[in-house]
Structure 1
Amino acid sequence: MVAGETSGDLLASRLLSGLRPQMPDAHMHGIGGPHMAQYGFVSDFPMEKLSVRGLFEVLAHYREIKGIQIALRDQLLAERPAVFIGVDAPDFNLGLEAQLKSAGIPTMHFIGPSIWAWRGGRIKKIARAASHMLVIFPFEEEIYRKAGIPATYVGHPLAQVIPMEPDQAAARTLLNLPPSGPVVAILPGSRMSELKYNAVAFVAAAKILLQRDPGLRIVAPMAGAAQRRYFEELIAQAGLQDVPVQILDGQSHQALAAADAVMVASGTASLEVALFKRPMVIAYKMMSASWHILRHMAYQPWIGLPNILAQEFLVPELLQDAATPQALADALWQQLQDGAHRERLQRRFTEMHHSLLRDTAGESARAVMELIAQSRSGSV
């Protein structure tokens, strides 16, 4: 298995929770993180090496990432595993899967690339790479089957992990936050490149919010120790070290449960916020050259998963130059003040949660076992 970032590690761990009981003695290895390790998964390379986003940012690390891909490919071609599962990270995994599949090793891709949002031509590459797709949004199964790619909708793993009615009081107690009074969570991203472009704007926005309401509490969960150090370094360089932000080691779900509103970088985390039924502002910044290319490649007007699933701007999106501290603060303040909007979001996000709820661990594990059985019978 290969997961390339924190969200992939979490999603893959849900698959492993269903698969490990079916294969208690299997050697499961590749690239992954701490959530996967809980199920006996061994990471052959540091997952952080793959956690790079943006066209030009990836180019800067291309040689190292390509070297890891080649080394892992050679290892797996010699080993010939029962199955290879690529978890998200399509730019790394699809190329690897194609080479393994052509050598007769069954391949599964868990979480389809967002071909419905941009770069739809990738479906041809997916057909060459994946023996079977596991998809996490209801509308994706038909897209892949029409293209002749076997696919199974398994629901979104996070829909099972996150409670339908999060316990805000318990989360605040756990994080030593006051039981009453507004709490804002800021999630500038788990990748170093995301922190680089989002962290300062998010904390500067928090400073403006604190000027409006000094009683506001700000929490910022960090994906790991390296991310925390980099976040603190960026904030200090910007002269914002005195902004009272409670930095958390992990505990992102507790932070979201405790919060009244959230400032979040676009990505899986925005869907987590929706599943916690919290108002949010979605923001994203990246290298300017990458942005000018990517913004012309989108098929839809939304980039945030909650808005894409709703097919409307349920929550604000502030992108690139629009994601100024003042604009972020103003948008989040509106989320905190508008009670009718919060109630509407609560209803819509609850509906969204139900639509994504399946036995993801069980369905995924069943599909993996069936693919292995088909391979051994010669029908793949």
Structure 2
Amino acid sequence: MASFADAADKTAIALVAGETSGDLLASRLLSGLRPHLPDALMHGIGGPHMMQHGFVSDFSMEKLSVRGLFEVLAHYREIKGIQNALRDRLLEERPAVFIGVDAPDFNLGLEAQLKEAGIPTMHFIGPSIWAWRGGRIKKIARAVSHMLVIFPFEEEIYRKVGIPATYVGHPLAQVIPMEPDVQAARALLGLQPDARVVAIMPGSRMSELKYNAVAFVAAAKLLRQRDPSLQFVAPMAGDVQRRYFDELIAQAGLQDVPIQVTNGESYRAMAAADAVLVASGTASLEVALFKKPMVIAYKMMRASWHVLRHMGYQPWIGLPNILAREFLVPELLQDAATPQALADAMWMQLQDGAHREQLQRRFTEMHHTLLRDTAAESAQAVLNLIGHPSRTA
């Protein structure tokens, strides 16, 4: 467990990332920050990508990777206990800054308490107030000293209500190549170079797998009936997710569907694919940056769906469609996400050559818009907030 008391002469930076995508995004910030603060103590909650930059995780990130209103309630006491324990430690240790990376339900409450105590707070990846009802912005103003935003239109939204904000580009736009190497990805995954390949991506959270995996694999079975030569690859976030996926598929009697399940390898799967069936979330943007046709789908606990379906005030939930301001790719949600509907929508993505070319052009434009030196720009914003001179200044 990290201790600032052991390093009183060091700058202390506290961060919390709540899931796999946040871990990757935070690692980009740390890669830019670490050269300026080589001896800084960086700790909180994070994953393996953050740890590559000397980050120490005091609690398991998996504990925060729960999605859905009622799913979160089932784990509320444990999550709240972690939040309180981390809050108390940071109030005592007083880091130079606390940076919450996504996970707004966990981080904004923690940030509000730290900011009230005089600890500067940043939030990296703004909550989607532009996609859902915007009442949250008052809570953000109370909690956050400075926002780091990843979409260009977000700066004005926050600045209008007096919240300092810096657009740093989307880290994934720098990580993902502008022109993916399809054949190299297929060779590394052991896929046939001339086959048609579909990537199945039901989500990285256990709750996402619970509600999406069976429908996604059942759709793959229907697609294979139309074209027996189709190859399927399903990247899992880790061993735990892979075992759960296998268990769900076996329980549904779908274990005979020939799907190559991998640990990690999500980017190779996207690069190798002709089309992707993907759960809504950051992964859908990753697929767009790989310039691939896709169908976005999402299922959740029915009680959560009945609440959340009334909260959106724009017609899209998928990030590629939100950025495009139109339905570039299909979205099938909850009861609409039947295996047959998913298979039909995916078949069109595979068959429509003109649509594929249009998507490639639009996704390339999107990639250029989001491409900035996120590591350097987000790190500089942190240094400015804490009053630490840049080593290159």
In the superposition, the TM-score normalised over structure 2's length comes to 0.95
Question: Quick check: 1:276 aligned with 2:325?
Answer: no
Question: Quick check: 1:313 aligned with 2:309?
Answer: no
| Letter paired with 1:103 | A
Runs (4+) off by over 4 Å: none
Map of 1:26 onto structure 2? 40
DSSP 3-state at the match of 2:148: strand
Map of 2:181 onto structure 1? 167
1:211 Cα offset (Å): 1.0
Equivalent of 2:135 in 108, 121, 125 = 121
Map of 1:304 onto structure 2? 318
| Letter paired with 1:13 | S
- 1:259-298 equivalences in 2 (<5 Å): 259-298=273-312
Map of 1:86 onto structure 2? 100
| Letter paired with 2:155 | E
- Percent identity, please: 85
1:181 Cα offset (Å): 1.3
Map of 1:378 onto structure 2? none
Output one character per residue of 1:116-147: Cα deviation in whole Å (capped at 9) or x when no partner: 11130111100111110000000000000011
Q: Distance in 2 between matches of 1:197 and 1:310?
A: 27
Question: Quick check: 1:322 aligned with 2:319?
Answer: no
Indicate the larger mover: 366-375 or 313-322. Answer: 366-375
1:29 Cα offset (Å): 0.6
Q: Which blocks of at least 5 consecutive residues in structure 2 are unaligned? A: 1-14
Output one character per residue of 1:263-300: Cα deviation in whole Å (capped at 9) or x when no partner: 00000000000000000000000011110110111011
Output one character per residue of 1:241-282: Cα deviation in whole Å (capped at 9) or x when no partner: 111110111010000000000000000000000000000000
| Letter paired with 2:178 | M
Question: Quick check: 1:210 aligned with 2:224?
Answer: yes
DSSP 3-state at the match of 1:44: strand
Q: Distance in 2 between matches of 1:273 and 1:78?
A: 42
- 1:99-178 equivalences in 2 (<5 Å): 99-178=113-192
DSSP 3-state at the match of 1:45: strand
Q: Distance in 2 between matches of 1:35 and 1:243?
A: 32
| Letter paired with 1:279 | P
| Letter paired with 1:30 | G
Question: Quick check: 1:235 aligned with 2:249?
Answer: yes
Map of 1:339 onto structure 2? 353
Equivalent of 1:69 in 83, 90, 95 = 83
In the superposition, the TM-score normalised over structure 1's length comes to 0.98
| Letter paired with 1:154 | V
Q: Distance in 2 between matches of 1:333 and 1:162?
A: 26
Q: Distance in 2 between matches of 1:39 and 1:241?
A: 39
Q: Distance in 2 between matches of 1:312 and 1:73?
A: 41
Q: Distance in 1 between matches of 2:225 and 2:74?
A: 39
1:374 Cα offset (Å): 7.8
Q: Distance in 1 between matches of 2:216 and 2:95?
A: 44
Output one character per residue of 1:309-349: Cα deviation in whole Å (capped at 9) or x when no partner: 00000000000000001110110011000000000000000
| Letter paired with 1:293 | V
Q: Distance in 1 between matches of 2:284 and 2:267?
A: 12
Output one character per residue of 1:337-367: Cα deviation in whole Å (capped at 9) or x when no partner: 0000000000000000001000000000000
| Letter paired with 1:201 | A
Map of 1:255 onto structure 2? 269
Q: Distance in 1 between matches of 2:192 and 2:148?
A: 42
1:39 Cα offset (Å): 0.7
Q: Which blocks of at least 5 consecutive residues in structure 1 are unaligned? A: 376-380
Map of 1:373 onto structure 2? 387
Output one character per residue of 1:175-200: Cα deviation in whole Å (capped at 9) or x when no partner: 11111110000110000000000000
| Letter paired with 1:353 | H
Map of 2:194 onto structure 1? 180
| Letter paired with 1:209 | L
Q: Distance in 2 between matches of 1:129 and 1:279?
A: 38
Q: Distance in 2 between matches of 1:259 and 1:374?
A: 44
Q: Distance in 2 between matches of 1:374 and 1:27?
A: 15
Map of 1:200 onto structure 2? 214
Q: Distance in 1 between matches of 2:367 and 2:241?
A: 29
Output one character per residue of 1:190-238: Cα deviation in whole Å (capped at 9) or x when no partner: 0000000000000110111111111111000001111111111111111
Question: Quick check: 1:359 aligned with 2:337?
Answer: no
Output one character per residue of 1:46-69: Cα deviation in whole Å (capped at 9) or x when no partner: 101101111111111100000000
DSSP 3-state at the match of 1:308: helix
| Letter paired with 1:94 | L
Give the RMSD, CA atoms, in angstroms.
Answer: 0.9
DSSP 3-state at the match of 2:214: helix
Q: Distance in 1 between matches of 2:96 and 2:184?
A: 43
